Structure 1
Amino acid sequence: MLDICAAQRGSKIIVMFHILAVSSTLLAFCFGSELHPANRILGGSETDATTIPYQVSLELSNIYRCSGVIVSPSWVVTVASCLIGTDYANLVVRAGPVLRGILGTLRNVSLYVPYPGYDDQIMDYDIALVKLSEDIPFDSTIDSLDIGTEVPFDGNVATVSGWGATSSGAWLSSVLNERNVTILYFNDCKYLYEGIQNPVTERMFCAGSRDGGPCQGDPGDPLVYNEQLIGLMSWSFGCGDGKYPAVYTDVTKFRGWIADYAGLTI
């Protein structure tokens, strides 16, 4: 299943799926060479649940929808764009899996809370909370992840992981993959997307790599820096074409909302 959301804007189509191959015109200077998409999670490597115990898959009627992150035994954070308009009565969270849709610990969902300001036209405030029907026990393959206080400066390297397609148009990956990506200067990110009239707001930031990143099926993929959650994969334009970096929801801007709703102490 390719999880692609296309939004018609005038004469152009903005394809809301996920990529971390970055602009060869602007970012070749940063990375030192021409940019090319690679295979796997567009350049990623296989990992396991003990390395990324906080990542879960959200499945609707037994079909993978997106990723999420455990923030407490009873709450998961993800992107609102993944689940908006769905019936969460048919939603299941799978924790601790390495293989997509296989094994792990399953929990039903008792509540789905998109951020009140979510704008599906420009993907602003793209974040949501999912409450599990019962607490999930933590072990070596299942654990929560703290939320960072701010996104690091441009040039810093963070890690993204997911089950997304290994190339444009391909099936989703059966195994969890991860790769390192570089934080992009906010104004550069904003400038890139002004060309296609898709705004990058203060609740977003960009990160990318010269040789790959997430593609279809990667909404909600966590971006982690210094063992703290800083972003969730939200949207981009294209997949594997080397022109645009991935845009993440800045989770650090929603620390207070998450803490208040989920009853966390941060």
Structure 2
Amino acid sequence: MGLKCEVMGWGRMFWGGPLASYLVYIDVQLIPAERCAKLLNVPVIGAMDDLLCAMDEENTTKQQPCYGDWGSPLMHGDIVYGIVSNIVGCGSANLPSVYTDVYKMVDWIEDKIETFSAGVFYFIDSLVLLAAAFAHLGSFVLFDFV
């Protein structure tokens, strides 16, 4: 088995069950892409390029992310390795959970942050200019009346 990780989320406690009323942590272990593809009955090449798979094979727990956990982190210590992307198991003891591999997607993530940040700054700059224009117009109009 691979690296032991922790997943946290606010999703359903079990298939068809209630949403968690507190942040729930589960323990899983990464599994090789070949094994994951075989368990999910998908081709290894292409389908698993930017994904990670993990399972809890402990017979007493069989924990997995469930509905409502999309976007939750797959962590080891304080490092995020993946993000819950596909709810496959959620109560099925023999299927792995699937995560987007953060490391392989870092360029895309940085691009989105940069794009979003530029948009936010452009919006803020536009508001400042608009406020300055109104202030200038207001003072100009006030000057005309004096």
Is the structural similarity TM-score above 0.5? Answer: yes
What's the counterpart of residue 161 of structure 1? 8
Unaligned 5+ segments in structure 2 are 115-146
Q: Which of 170, 173, 185 lines up with 2:32 in the alignment?
A: 185
Residue identity (%): 34
Q: Aligned partners of 2:89, 2:27: CA distance in 1, in Å?
A: 20
Corresponding residue number in structure 1 for 2:94? 243
Q: Distance in 2 between matches of 1:185 and 1:178?
A: 22
Question: Residues 30-179 of structure 1 correspond to what in structure 2 (within 5 A)?
Answer: 155-179=2-26
The alpha carbon displacement at 1:238 in A equals 4.1
What TM-score do the two structures reach when normalised by structure 2?
A: 0.66
* Cα gap change, 1:261 to 1:241, in 2 (>3 Å): closer
Whole-Å separation in 1 of the counterparts to 2:65 and 2:52: 15
Structure holding more helix per residue: 2
Greater C-alpha radius of gyration: 2
- The answer to whether the Cα contact below 8 Å between 2:29 and 2:54 also exists between their aligned partners in 1 is yes
Match of 1:259, SS state, is helix
The CA deviation string for residues 98-120 of structure 1, in whole angstroms up to 9 with x for no partner, is: xxxxxxxxxxxxxxxxxxxxxxx
One-letter code aligned to 2:31: L
Alpha-carbon distance between aligned partners in 1 of 2:89 and 2:5, rounded to the nearest angstrom: 22
Over the residues paired in the alignment, what is the CA RMSD in angstroms? 2.1
| Residue matched to 1:207 | 54
What are structure 1's unaligned runs of at least 5 residues? 1-153
2:21 and 2:31 mapped to 1: Cα distance?
29
TM value normalised by structure 1: 0.38
Q: 1:220 aligns to what?
A: 71
Detail structure 1 runs of 4+ shifted over 3 Å in the superposition. Answer: none
Verify: 1:253 aligned to 2:104, yes or no.
yes
| Structure 2: distance between partners of 1:236 and 1:191 | 17
Shift of 1:177: 0.9
| Residue identity in the other structure for 2:32 | Y
Q: Is the 8 A contact 1:236 1:245 kept in 2?
A: no
User: Which of structures 1 and 2 has the larger relative contact order (alpha carbons within 8 angstroms, sep 6+)?
Assistant: 1
Measure the CA separation in 2 of the matches of 1:170 and 1:246. 18
| Aligned equivalent of 1:194, options 21, 30, 41 | 41
Deviations 1:193-215 (A, max 9, x none): 126xxx84211110111321221
